[in-house]
Structure 1
């Protein structure tokens, strides 16, 4: 389980996270949705312990894996070396690392022939798969994903979205997925937490937000990303 209780974080006079409370039950996926500057990434940094809250409590059951845009890979390390970094830090044997990486490469659909290439030699989608394998290397119960698909082209993004949905379902991890994309929120999350200016505006399913918006901002945010009918008529 992952829980925030009345968490607040300020930077000078700016309130980045404003008395946020949320609970992600074990084995479920929660979407943290909002525009840039709404506090999504700050919440992840608080959960990871990279920042300290000014007020409130954060609790996490077990270890965490963390995935960001394009995987945040070390450019001087191969895909294999990047993916196995957590295991090497834990002083795993070479055989154990190889066995685990073989399992994860299959899980994230990463061609084994790519493992000895450097990040600059990989596509954005391939780098993201390496980053996901690294986050899963130690089999943490909690996964945090910060706009992991934001830098991908539309086709790669759609492919990885579908694959991630299947991975989350198969592994049963506790997942907190940060995005500004309404379509992504619909695909991934049974429960969505919509943020604005550091505060929780509304929580619920996509249907809850779309049909019963708690305030005007909710409807405006959702509508802003809906393609116009004249466009969808051609698709």
Structure 2
């Protein structure tokens, strides 16, 4: 990592590198904490490309590679068009690497979020061909795109009782969890290894399940 520090110091002094707004006076480009590396830079494309070339040189010399599963990029005070451009360049440098985006397939060890982006891309690819959005004659719209990629489930008879404008959102959510039998009751906590006793916390006799707690427990019946 000392080699990386020397290369950064040399390059930032010789090239048209722009420091982060709060790091210019200190000429601060990076911090190393154990095995973590923080890089600070002004959000312009030229400085980003300099930083990427420095890291590529360091990786080629040391054999140390970036762990993309644990890497993040944060923006502050950067115009949206510049931010989008930088994100596209970063994705192309780390993931796509010049491949054809239409036919691109993520690697097996790629992060869940990147695989999700690629999965949405494949869903759009099915209905977008030769520059034409095939789902509606007027072309693409946010609504039609969302309707295409969202998970569609059959409508249930109780949805209006749970989700309506008169209900408190917190109450609606809890009732929805109860109907789906997804509350963290003791029968589930035992399976997760959180506790060893699955007896009902009210009657201390039967196993604490959704059916018992809301329908069969003698205390609730009373």
Same fold (TM over 0.5): no
When Rg is computed on C-alpha atoms for both structures, the one with the higher figure is: 2
TM norm structure 2: 0.26
| Structure with greater contact order relative to length (CA < 8 Å, sep ≥ 6) | 1
Q: Which has the higher strand share?
A: 1
Q: Which has the higher helix share?
A: 2
TM norm structure 1: 0.25
